[in-house]
Amino acid sequence: MGNPYIPVPGIDPNALQSFFEEQSGTILSMFNMFSGGALERLSIFALGIFPYISCSIVMQMASVTIPTLKELKKEGESGRRKITQYTRYGRVFFWLHFSHLALQLHFKIKVLL
């Protein structure tokens, strides 16, 4: 059985590994854990579906702790639609963040995330 991950073209796997070793214990390592390690391998899957999954997880946790989102959750269908809309907007943020990471690794530039 081969490697199930399709890497993003142009990414140096050694640079990627050292980057994630430096980021140990940060929020980036938490997102890597949510992805089952797909982010650490920077697979095409990680840049495709992972931003939506990550944002969905964050929104589920936020809807328990943030009062405004708690109220939306109690509103039923209309509140659920609003939370889904926020999740879609948040997905763009996550996608930009992970794309930035891919570009940073490709061009070997050190920029704060």
In a domain, 111, yes or no: no
In a domain, 32, yes or no: yes
Say how many domains are in the chain. Answer: 1
What's residue 5's pLDDT? 66
In a domain, 8, yes or no: no
In a domain, 96, yes or no: yes
Q: What's the gap between Cα 81 and its chain centre?
A: 22
Kindly state the average pLDDT of the residues 46-71: 85
Kindly state the average pLDDT of the residues 45-64: 82
- Per-residue pLDDT band at 81 (split at 50, 70, 90): very high
In a domain, 2, yes or no: no
| Dihedral Cα 9, 38, 17, 26, nearest 10 deg | 130
Please report, rounded to a whole number, the percentage of residues in the chain having pLDDT higher than 90.
Answer: 16
Q: Assess contact for 8 and 47: CB atoms under 8 A.
A: yes
d(CA 9, CA 107): 12
- Of the chain, the end-to-end C-alpha distance in Å amounts to 35
In a domain, 36, yes or no: yes
- Model pTM? 0.59
Q: What angle do CA 10, 16, 21 make, to 5 degrees?
A: 175
**Domain ranges, residue 84:** 13-106
